[in-house]
Amino acid sequence: MSNETALGSPASSLRGRAGGETISPRQQAVLSYLREHDIPFECYNHPEGKTIEEAKRWWKDDGSVHCKNIFMRNHKGNKHYLICYHCDHDFDIHDLEARLKATLQAQGLPSCGKLSFASPERMMKYLGLEPGSVSPFGLINDTEHHVHLFLDACLKDAETLSFHPNDCRGTVVIRREDFERYLKIVGNSYEYI
Collect all residues with Cβ–Cβ distance below 8 Å to 172 and sequence separation of at least 6. Answer: 30, 31, 34, 41, 42, 43, 137, 162, 163, 164, 165
| Interatomic CA distance for residues 187 and 50, integer angstroms | 27
Q: Which of 62, 35, 50 is nearest to 185 (CA)?
A: 35
Q: Which of 71, 52, 68 is nearest to 121 (CA)?
A: 71
pLDDT band per the 50, 70, 90 thresholds, residue 2: very low
| Interatomic CA distance for residues 151 and 58, integer angstroms | 24
Q: For the chain, give the mean pLDDT.
A: 83
| Average pLDDT rounded to a whole number, residues 31-53 | 86
Percent of the chain with pLDDT over 70: 82
DSSP code of 4?
A: -
Least confident of 8-22, 42-56, 68-82, 121-135: 8-22
In this prediction, residue 55 carries a pLDDT of 66
Whether the predicted pLDDT of 50 surpasses 90: no
Residues 87-123 have pLDDT tens digits of: 878 777 788 788 777 877 887 777 777 889 999 999 9
The better pLDDT of the pair 109, 29 is held by 29
